[in-house]
Amino acid sequence: MIDLLRTSRRTLAGALVAGAVVYAANFAAGQSPAVAPAALAEGGAVTPVDVDEIVGTPLERALATIRPENIFADLSFIASDEMHGRDTPSPELLIAARYIRARLQRLGFQPGGPLGSYFYEYQLAHSPLAIDRCEATWTATDGTTATLQAGRDYFFASVGDAGDLVTSGDLVFCGYGRRADFPDNARGKWALCVDNGKGRGQRSRTASQAGVAGLITFPAHDYEGESYTERFGGVMSMLERGRVSWPGGREPREIFPSLFMTRERGLALLDAAGRPPGAAEDWMPEQGAELGVNLEERRSLATQGGMATLENVCGFWPGKDPERSKEVVILSAHYDHVGVSGDDIYNGADDNGTGTCGLLALAEALATYGPLDRSVLLIWVSGEEKGLLGSKAWAENPWLPEGCKPVANINIDMIGRNDPTQILYTPTEKLEQYYNDLAQVLERHAASEGFTNLGSADDYYHRSDQASFETLGIPVMFLFADVHEDYHQPSDTVEKIDTDKVARVTRLVLRMLVDIDDEAIER
């Protein structure tokens, strides 16, 4: 198994120091500590709420604790640059999990995972590429040799290029890599091609079909596209992080070696092949020329065994009724996002920092409300962005205290943007086979929190984590504020979030939870 805290260049300690720097900077700028990222060990900086001073029913007192400024404080940490987009897996996702756990501990929630832990662990197949161990060495007939480094001298173009692989062969010049450019003598050898910016998607496929051992491409003298560093930087970052997938899934496809080399290194290869001194910029060898250069490319995975351990964070709030407390309502949100790509950080403030922090606010509210008749499981799932994998893991092997069973799920995702009066939900009445009591309760209470414009999210019924919980045969509900132009972009940042809307969605969920507490929940 991969030890993320040991293998990443961005260490846990480093991220904590970075978070502290942000906190100090905000404080120095005149911001209240309540709206700055908090020290991890404190479980988050929130505005203190003196519950004893709040007059009203238990519900009114609990609703009063759900405040936009507190949600903003949590979101400023969860979706900060220092959290590097909370990819599954990543050290920053581990930090987020411990931030959530600290809050649950402070509020008095019981561990909701096996063996007295707040973490429900599961494993995924994981294949990160060790970029620093990926090299290519060429040797010319005159004995000249050079070693090239992946990520500096050449690049990979596909996230499917991770694997343990050694490819060796002589080089044959194959022009621009068009179908007619691959002669018979190139079979089983490296094809060296120049890139004029055309036929990007076809060259590797054509080369593979021509039977060459691998493809090396470098920019032509008149290439006007973006530099290979920019063009493939994101792919290299993803390869280094590694893809995750459900264990025992599809067999990985066979890798066709395709290297995108810088022009400087490509010309060095031509020099080794005998390019005349002072040759014109557009000089190329003859079509099908054997270049008298042998190249061996080596790449390897960072881990052997190919598994990563991930965590869902679970807090259990036991009910007070001797019988009904065995029934558990699951409130869920995913806390992962899509990480980084090259120099871009995908903060995921709305997706799903808002749901993550809304669930933290619900924890605070439940601590103020006290026990309901039913028990409640708060679960922050990872792996949603990789295919609902964290919720899938839990649903396939659910864990609850002995004698307990799940009876409903309410899932929140992306609840902080767009029309402040609108919330989308599913199932609506139009999704007749799934329409349930939760939907009717939402429709009854939405206006109380200013949501006078209810819209359908039925197209998303199977596209967020409620789809996993629905496999348990329980009624589910999904609350969603719709996509926007910043969806899965580096521009999904904290300052664009309507934290008042997040607070109102969170209060709506609390109203629903209290309403259904003494009623049967029918699917």
> How confident is the model over 468-472, as a mean pLDDT?
98
pLDDT-based confidence at 37, cuts 50/70/90?
very low
> Would you say residue 1 has pLDDT above 50?
no
DSSP 301: B
Three-state secondary structure call for residue 188 = coil
520 phi/psi in degrees, rounded to 5 = -70, 145
Closest CA to 420 of 352, 496, 481: 481
Taking CA atoms, 250 is separated from 125, 128, 253, 257, in Å, by 11, 17, 9, 20
**Residue ranges of domains in the chain:** 4-128+305-518, 131-299
Which parts of 311-406 fold into alpha helices (H)? Answer: 355-369, 389-396
When pLDDT is cut at 50, 70 and 90, the band that residue 48 belongs to is low
Q: What are phi and psi of 94, to 5 degrees?
A: -65, -40
pLDDT band at 234 (very low <50, low <70, confident <90, very high): confident
User: Who wins on pLDDT, 519 or 13?
Assistant: 519
pTM over 0.85, yes/no: no
Per-residue confidence (pLDDT) for residue 46, from 0 to 100: 52
- The DSSP call for residue 352 is I
126: how many CB neighbours lie within 10 A of its CB?
Answer: 26
Task: State the chain's mean pLDDT as an integer.
Answer: 90
Q: What is the pLDDT of residue 243?
A: 87
The pLDDT, as a whole number, for residue 250 is 66
Measured between alpha carbons, how far is 17 from 22 in angstroms, rounded to an integer?
9
- Can you state the percent helix, strand and coil of the chain, rounding each to 5? 35, 20, 40
**Residue that the structure tokens 């679970």 belong to:** 314
Reduced to 3 states (helix: H, G, I; strand: E, B; else coil), residue 136 is strand
SS3 state at 511: helix
Return the minimum-mean-pLDDT range out of 25-34, 129-138, 358-367.
Answer: 25-34
Structure tokens at 129: 């590429």
pLDDT band at 15 (very low <50, low <70, confident <90, very high): very low
**Token reading at 60:** 């009114």
Neighbours of 104 (CB within 10 A): 24
DSSP annotation string for 183-249? -GGGTTSEEEEEE-S--HHHHHHHHHHTT-SEEEEEE-TT--S--HHHHHHHHHHHHHH-EEE-TT-
pLDDT digit string, tens, across residues 307-345: 999 999 999 999 999 999 999 999 999 999 999 988 899
pLDDT at 523: 80
Identify which of 192, 342, 175 has the alpha carbon closest to the alpha carbon of residue 265. Answer: 192
Residues 6+ apart with CB under 8 A from 339: 84, 85, 86, 87, 90, 237, 241, 346
pLDDT, tens only, 279-297: 998 999 999 999 999 999 9
Q: What is the pLDDT of residue 50?
A: 65
Residue 25 has pLDDT above 60, yes or no: no
Strand partners, 145: 139
The pLDDT of residue 168: 98
pLDDT confidence of residue 459: 97
Task: Say what percent of the chain tops pLDDT 70.
Answer: 88
Q: What pLDDT digit, counting tens, does each position of 422-457 carry?
A: 999 999 999 999 999 999 999 999 999 999 999 999
pLDDT at 51 (0 to 100): 62
Q: How confident is the model at residue 202 (pLDDT cuts 50, 70, 90)?
A: confident
pLDDT of residue 251: 66
Query: Do residues 66 and 507 touch, judged by C-beta distance below 8 A?
Result: yes
Here the tokens at position 235 are 């792919």
The tokens for 132 are 């620093």
Report pLDDT for 52: 66
- Among 348, 396, 358, 353, residue whose Cα is nearest residue 378: 358
Sequence-separated (6 or more) residues with CB below 8 Å from residue 259: 136, 154, 155, 156, 214, 215, 216, 217, 297
Q: Would you state the pLDDT for residue 479?
A: 99
Architecture category of domain 131-299 in CATH: 3-Layer(bba) Sandwich (3.50)
Comparing CA positions, the residue from 173, 172, 217, 227 lying closest to residue 195 is: 217
In the chain, the N- to C-terminal Cα span, in Å, equals 40
- Multiple choice CATH, 4-128+305-518, 3.40.50.150, 3.50.50.60, 3.40.630.10, 3.30.479.10: 3.40.630.10
Mean pLDDT to the nearest integer, 372-397:
98
Residue 82 near residue 335 (C-beta atoms within 8 A): no
Kind plus residue range of the DSSP H or E element containing 154: strand 154-155
Torsion angles phi and psi, residue 56, rounded to 5 = 145, -170
What CA–CA distance (Å, rounded) separates 17 from 492? 24
What string of H, E and C letters represents the secondary structure of 391-431? Answer: HHHHHHCCCCCCCCEEEEEEEECCCCCCCCCEEEEECCCCC
Cβ atoms of 109 and 363 closer than 8 Å: yes
- Tens of pLDDT, residues 152-182: 999 999 988 999 999 999 999 999 999 999 9
Q: Which of 308, 307, 275 is nearest to 289 (CA)?
A: 275
Q: Per residue in 61-84, pLDDT tens?
A: 999 999 999 999 999 999 999 999
